[in-house]
Amino acid sequence: MWSDHLNVIQQAPWGTCINELDTEASLVEQNASFVALLECMAVIRVSGEEAASFLQGQITCDVSPLNSGQAVLGAHCNAKGRAQSTFLCLRQGDDFLLLLPQDQVAPTIQVLSKFAMFSKADVTADESLLVFAPAGPDQATIHSMVQDANQGATLFTLPALGSLGVIAQAQAPAFIQLLQQHSIPLVGDNAWNLSQINGGLVHIHANQAENWIPQEINYDLVEGVNFKKGCYKGQEIVARIHYRGQTKVRTFPLEIHGCDAVEIGDKIVSEAGNGTILAVARVSERTLKVLSTLKIEASESQNLKLEQNDACQIHVLPLPYAIT
């Protein structure tokens, strides 16, 4: 954990922060550069001589073209095509790393291991690695600086997601010192979650597992689903919905004013139907940003309400990518 190597502030339910929450959030809203040290994300390692073929038959993304250091967004679905977990899949040598929310590590290992026993593949939690995320206009410079320092960090970039990296626990102190020497702001979970909400990127937590098909969380719009690869678990249903154009629910970023108590799983209500909040981040004391599923027609409503507090003001924010 990063908290083993520097002082962090534990501020439930927002996760850790290194400075004040609102100070870190302002860096995101101002599009400033920073490095997020993430305790909310963890690593699953898939290894073995059949790791690639095993994953290819399990997840929505195509891992076959990945070279070492490359990554792709993906999901693991149940037989009904609903996402049990979502992750960033990174190729590291012959192994694959799945970066996903901490509360999804155990259930994802449990589900994948049931199928790994039929392949020469091992699925394990890799607690030796810490996750970090450079962000902002200087992230390419930060990327180069980290690589040049040769501290054992692996970084990768996706067009929709920005940069993420992993580094061994043993290298964390030197890595932190390097960032501090270059006066790079360090932030925690809330700031990174806010950046993901601004980017319209959902990372499914355990209490929302198996509730949503990949299209409902926009994974088909951010290259999290490959419709040309072979079969995978839930593929028939995911593909059928795609080719029939039956996606009536999408995920949208919302700004909520006048409320400081919102949790994943809370409901957004409107005349066009209800939505479910999938991600929450604090912007300031009385302003939050969330990602919520909504029926597409509900996203055009000016009368969205939070189910447990109808006095809040809710505004739908634009996505950085098109809904097609």
Residues 6+ apart with CB under 8 A from 224: 60, 61, 72, 73, 74, 75, 86, 214
Question: 35 and 209 in contact (C-beta within 8 Å)?
Answer: no
Would you give the distance in Å from CA 43 to the centre of its chain?
Answer: 12
Q: Which of 105, 75, 40 is closest to 211 using CA atoms?
A: 75
Fill in the amino acid letter for 158: L
Please state the length of the chain: 324
Angle, CA of 160, 162 and 167, to the nearest 5° = 140
Residue 268's contacts (CB-CB under 8 Å, 6 or more residues apart) are 254, 274, 275, 276, 277, 292, 294, 304, 305, 306, 307, 314
For 132-164, write each residue's pLDDT tens digit.
999 999 888 888 888 777 777 888 877 667 788
- Residue 260, pLDDT > 90, answer no
pLDDT at 159: 67
pLDDT value of position 261 = 81
CA separation for the pair 260, 149 (Å, rounded) = 41
Q: Assign a CATH topology to domain 1-246.
A: Gyrase A; domain 2 (3.30.1360)
Predicted pLDDT at 147: 79
CATH of domain 248-317: 2.40.30.160
Tell me if 178 sits within 8 A of 145, measured CB to CB: yes
CA dihedral (324, 76, 205, 270) positive or negative: positive
Task: Look at 6-10, 18-22, 183-187 and tell me which has the smallest mean pLDDT.
Answer: 6-10
Domain spans, the chain: 1-246, 248-317
Is the CB of residue 34 less than 8 Å from the CB of residue 135?
yes
- Residue 139: the pLDDT is 84
The backbone torsions φ and ψ at residue 127, rounded to the nearest 5 degrees and listed phi first, read -85, 0
